[in-house]
């Protein structure tokens, strides 16, 4: 994920980071998020579950929806369907 750039120059001139760098970081995050989402949905499909909405209890994961139950892989909250 990290791309080391061959510029030996560090930002030491006290200038704020240029927007381009911020944009590149946002694009990297979006790219990573896309990969994770695809991996997650593939994994969920393999396991016979689907990805539901955000856990309202911990807000740290999406709920996984199985046949008869919905559960949170982060806090363990579960709810029958």
Residues numbered 21 to 80 that lie near Zn ion (CB under 5 A) are 55, 57-58, 72, 74-75, 77
What sign does the dihedral 10-16-18-21 (CA atoms) show?
Answer: positive
DSSP for 46-65 reads HHT-EEEEE-TTTSSSEEEE
Least Å distance between CB 62 and Zn ion? 9
Least Å distance between CB 73 and Zn ion? 8
Least Å distance between CB 46 and Zn ion? 22
Helix (H, G, I), strand (E, B) or coil at 18: coil
User: Do 69 and 75 form a contact (C-beta atoms < 8 A)?
Assistant: no
- Nearer to Zn ion by C-beta: 51 or 57? 57
Using CB under 5 A as the binding criterion, the count of chain residues that bind Zn ion stands at 7
Chain positions contacting Zn ion, by CB under 5 A: 55, 57-58, 72, 74-75, 77
């Amino acid at each position: 994920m990290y791309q080391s750039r061959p510029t030996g120059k560090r930002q030491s001139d006290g200038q704020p980071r240029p927007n381009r760098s911020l944009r590149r970081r946002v694009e990297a995050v979006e790219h990573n998020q896309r990969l994770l989402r695809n991996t997650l949905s593939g994994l969920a499909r393999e396991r016979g579950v689907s990805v539901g909405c955000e856990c309202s209890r911990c807000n740290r994961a999406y709920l996984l929806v199985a046949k008869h139950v919905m559960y949170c892989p982060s806090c363990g909250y579960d709810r029958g369907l």
